[in-house]
Amino acid sequence: MKINIGTRKSELAQVQADIVIGMIKEKFNIDSEKVLIETKGDRILNVTLDKIGGKGLFVKEIEYAMLNKEVDMAVHSMKDVPYDVPKEFEIVAIPVREDVRDAFVAFNNISFYDLHEGARIGTSSIRRGTQIKILRPDVEIVPIRGNVQTRIAKIEKENLDGIILAAAGLKRLNMENIITNYFDPMEIVPAIAQGALGIEMIKGHLQVSTIKELDCYDARICVDAERSFMATLDGDCHDCIGAYAYLDGELMHMIGVYRVKGKIVKKQLSGNKNNYIKLGVDLAKKILNDN
């Protein structure tokens, strides 16, 4: 028996699929094979995501491949997965989460905080750009898209002082050495589910119960809390939205950021981890009710 895993063609997406392939082999002694699928989000690189439809652009074609039985499952970056997963599918496993932080990359190794006035920072993320401007109102945000390597190349090509990327992706690509500095999640609130992988399958697939064993409960409830925050706000990449949930014993702590009536609001909340969905909802309501 062999499991076919649908994934995007980028090097990072393939590395993430390889991580899951390794887990499946180690835990169940089952072989898997990658099936590379180009998504709309990969094809259209000259426009920011919010202009062409948002997060689902990186998952729809892979879901079609599952429906057509071309692949058994998909491996996604959970931050690319819309909160309203189609009813035919489920996220059967979220393995142990990688670093949630955003990272600053500058070839000359100058820290973000030591950049000259008016420095040019590359990012296509409204969330990152908005929060960076709060820290450094003087910098210029330059929209850039493409895979990790393409964006790094644009530092020189577009005369940028640096770019912002997810630390998780750089670590998975063994490129942690190029990170100039990390942003604390309380300072630059991460994207919903940043650093987490999700394994998606059609409900009722023969392998669902097996693959569920790869689920990390702590990672799952933190990601689900963040996604409930996003669902309550009906948020996506069209605006500044971010959340981070983490555990401290039986407590879950959450921080969220969202734009309300033109104002960026950041709030924190803590509660029993068993109420993780409600915590996400309550944090969203607390932000909306900001006075």
Q: Are 115 and 161 contacting, i.e. CB atoms less than 8 angstroms apart?
A: yes
Closest CA to 229 of 291, 276, 290: 276
DSSP state of 190: P
Region of residue 115 (left: phi > 0; alpha: psi -120 to 50; beta: else): beta
Query: What is the amino acid identity at position 198?
Result: G
Q: What does residue 207 show for φ and ψ, rounded to 5 degrees?
A: -95, 0
Catalytic residue among 80, 99, 161, 282: 80
Whether 80 is a known active-site residue: answer: yes
Both structure tokens of 74:
């998909």
DSSP state of 109: -
Distance CA 291, CA 284 (A): 14
Helix intervals (H) in 186-235: 208-211, 217-233
Kindly state the helix (H) or strand (E) to which residue 66 belongs, with its residue range: helix 60-67
Distance CA 122, CA 141 (A): 6
Distance CA 110, CA 108 (A): 6
Both structure tokens of 117:
């006035």
Both structure tokens of 40:
């709309």
List, by residue number, the catalytic residues.
Answer: 80
